Structure 1
Amino acid sequence: MSALEGLAVAASVVGHVLVVLGVALVAVAALGLVRLPDPFSRLSAVTKSGVAGVCLVLLGVLGIHPSWSALATVVLAVALQLLTNPVGGFALGRAAYRSGAPLSSRTRYDELAGEASEDRTGDAPDRATPRRAPTLER
């Protein structure tokens, strides 16, 4: 086996490992979506693990099928994932908060409580004291 063939085999093995790791991260994101207590925790899990998982899968595919066109596609797709997914997650989280989605009972502070009431009423409440998160009545 020549050095070039050995390099191709190593790139393929690394590519397959990256794909498996990426799929595992996407599975963890799906598990977090089901198991976490409130919409904000779920969104955080899906955004972070989803971005990392998709990027690892894309890099793995590049290792398995290396070409210049695949490189351009992967670079573009990774850049778009890194730019759009966090912004979308933030927008969804902000919309969930402003619509009154309940926080988990384990949440200690509601740091946006002052900003949300200012958005709705125009008043600026006292921001010096942290506010307790609302609890779910069951």
Structure 2
Amino acid sequence: MEVFLALVVSVMLVSGGIFTFLAAIGVVRLPDVYTRMHAASKAGTVGSGLMLIAAGLQAGDFATFARAFAGFVFFILTAPVAAHLVAKAAHQAGYRLSRRAVCDDMRDRAKK
């Protein structure tokens, strides 16, 4: 049973690290603030969540796992809201979409 738990925790830690690494690459490589924010909020949340749950499982203590799970739930609840508010503020401040963007729904909605 200990070997199985160690294997599960290892897979979760490696997966979380990969997601976090991909989020970091997305922040550096993507063309505008909106797509960068999307990469950071989605992949960063999944990566952090996987690593938190893995740490909670590895601890073997219910109190530690409960705290890790509460942190994961906090990430899930706050990251999309924060990303939305930052995107809205960036749009209102005048940050433009990249030239490859197909449409700007917020601009189109403001014209109506």
Query: How far 1:57 moved relative to its partner?
Result: 0.3
TM-score, normalised to structure 1, is: 0.77
Matches within 5 A, 1:1-138: 7-115=1-109, 117=110, 125-126=111-112
The CA RMSD measured in Å over matched residues stands at: 1.1
> What is the distance in 2 between the residues matched to 1:10 and 1:30?
30
- TM-score by length of structure 2 reads 0.94
Question: Per-residue deviation at 1:60?
Answer: 1.3
Distance in 2 of aligned mates of 1:16 and 1:62:
12
| Identical amino acids, percent of aligned pairs | 29
Asked if structure 1 preserves the Cα contact closer than 8 Å seen for 2:20 and 2:48, the reply is yes
Larger Rg: 1
The number of residues matched between the two structures is 112
Q: Which gives a bigger RCO, structure 1 or 2 (Cα 8 Å, sep 6+)?
A: 2
Give yes or no for contact 1:16–1:64 (8 Å, CA) kept in 2: no
Deviations 1:6-46 (A, max 9, x none): x1221111101101110111110000000000000000000
* Aligned counterparts of 2:5 and 2:36: Cα–Cα separation in 1: 34
- Cα deviation, 1:28-78, whole Å, max 9, x if unaligned, reads 000000000000000000000011000100111123222111121112101
Distance 1:62 1:37 in 2: 36
Structure 1 gap ranges (5+): 1-6, 118-124, 127-138
For structure 2, list consecutive stretches of 5 or more residues without a partner in the other structure: none
- Partner Cα distance (2:34, 2:7) in 1: 37
Query: Runs of 4+ in structure 1 displaced over 2 angstroms?
Result: none
